[in-house]
Structure 1
Amino acid sequence: MDRYTKPAVLLHWLIALLIIAAFALGLTMVNIPGLTPTKLKYFSYHKWIGVTVLALACLRLLWRLTHKAPAYPSHMPAWQQAVAHWMHVVLYVLMFGIPVSGYFYSLSAGVPVVYLGLFPLPVLMAPNPEWKPLLKDIHYYLNMALLASFCLHVLAALKHQFIDRDNLFKRILP
């Protein structure tokens, strides 16, 4: 059985855990009423995780472009291979699109992103109250698309593990 390389496995699980953390933190922070110190701290943590996910996604994409993924099992129908391929494309697009949309949403609100409170990211746009609601919606709907894609990805992995019993899931396990 072909497996993913160790760096690919590490990046997969690290990014997955960070995305889950960012998503949970995002849901928590937006439900805190008012503008409290805790809410502001959570917003910072959320942004830092997003920047980290974006950086790791860049590394992951570079790794993926230079290291071939293991082939799908020969018994896997062509339509499932095509769906799996396109699901991975969607997940990659969302790994980039969500942090970028959040970054521009923050800038449109006039709030610069300072990674870890130490490294200011470039300000690529001036505050723009007209763009802010659009960028907020884009960030939200991309996250909902990620949630749906993530659930489908996990369900597919579980199907392969417990129904097909084809060991496909083991290729990405640490």
Structure 2
Amino acid sequence: MQRYTKTAMSLHWLSALLIISAFIMGLVMTSIPGFSPAKLRYFSWHKWLGVTVFALAVLRVLWRIFHQPPPHPAHMPVWQNHAANATHWMLYVLIFAVPVSGYLYTLSAGVPVVYLGVWPMPVFMAPNPELKPLFRAVHYWLDMTMAALVVAHAGAALKHHLIDRDDVLKRMLPFTK
């Protein structure tokens, strides 16, 4: 069985953990009515997760450029190969697009992003109340699209493991042989 590199596995699972955390935090923070210190703290944490996911996405793409993933199993139908490749590339696009759209939403609202409360991120646009609802909607729908693709991706991995009983999932699990 050909496996992903330990670096690829680490970047994959760390990205997954942070993306799921940011998604859940986004749902929680937007369900809190009004403004409160807790809500503002969650918004900051959500933004920090987004910046971190974006940085990891850059690392993942650089790693992927220089390290080819293992090939799909020979028994996998062509349509599944195409579906897997399309899903992976859409997820790569979304791990950039979701944080960028959130950043644009934040800037259009006139709220700075200060990473970890220490490093101010660049402000390259003035507050824009007209664009704010657009960026909010784009961020939301990109995020929901990513959530659907993550569920499909995990479902496909589990299908390979539980039904097909092949090594597709094991190639990405760090503690299996």
User: TM-score scaled by structure 2?
Assistant: 0.98
1:159 alignment partner in structure 2: 159
The whole-number CA distance in structure 2 between the counterparts of 1:113 and 1:65 is: 30
What per-residue deviation string (whole Å, max 9, x for no partner) do you get for residues 45-64 of structure 1?
00000000000010001000
Secondary structure (helix, strand or coil) at the match of 1:138 reads helix
- Distance in 2, Cα, partners of 1:38 & 1:151: 29
Stretches of structure 2 lacking an aligned partner (at least 5 in a row): none
Quote how far apart the aligned CAs of 1:172 are. 0.3
Does residue 1:149 correspond to 2:165, yes or no?
no
Q: Where does residue 77 of structure 2 map in the other structure?
A: 77
Question: Where do 4+ consecutive residues of structure 1 move more than 4 Å?
Answer: none
Shift of 1:124: 1.2
Q: Tell me the secondary structure at the aligned position of residue 42 of structure 1.
A: helix
Amino acid at match of 1:94: L
Q: CA deviation at 1:4?
A: 0.2
- Kindly provide the CA deviation profile for residues 62-118 of structure 1, in whole angstroms up to 9, marking residues without a partner as x: 000110000001110111001100000000011000000000000000001110010
Tell me how far apart the structure 2 counterparts of residues 6 and 154 of structure 1 sit (CA, whole Å).
19
**What letter is aligned with 1:100?**
V
Query: What do the CA deviations read for 1:133-171 (whole angstroms, capped 9, x no partner)?
Result: 000000000011011101100110011001100111000
The residue correspondences of 1:4-153 to structure 2 (distance < 5 A) are: 4-153=4-153
Identity of aligned residues (%): 61
Structure 1 alignment gaps of length 5 or more = none
* Distance (whole Å) between structure 1 residues aligned to residue 24 and residue 112 of structure 2: 22
Counterpart residue type for residue 14 of structure 1: L
* Residue correspondences, number: 174
Distance 1:38 1:108 in 2: 22
* Counterpart code for 2:14: L
Give the letter aligned to residue 122 of structure 1.
P
Question: Could you tell me how far apart the structure 1 residues matched to 2:116 and 2:145 are?
Answer: 27
User: What code does the residue aligned with 2:121 have?
Assistant: L
Output the CA distance in 1 between the equivalents of 2:21 and 2:47: 11
Letter in 2 for 1:147: A
Letter in 2 for 1:86: A
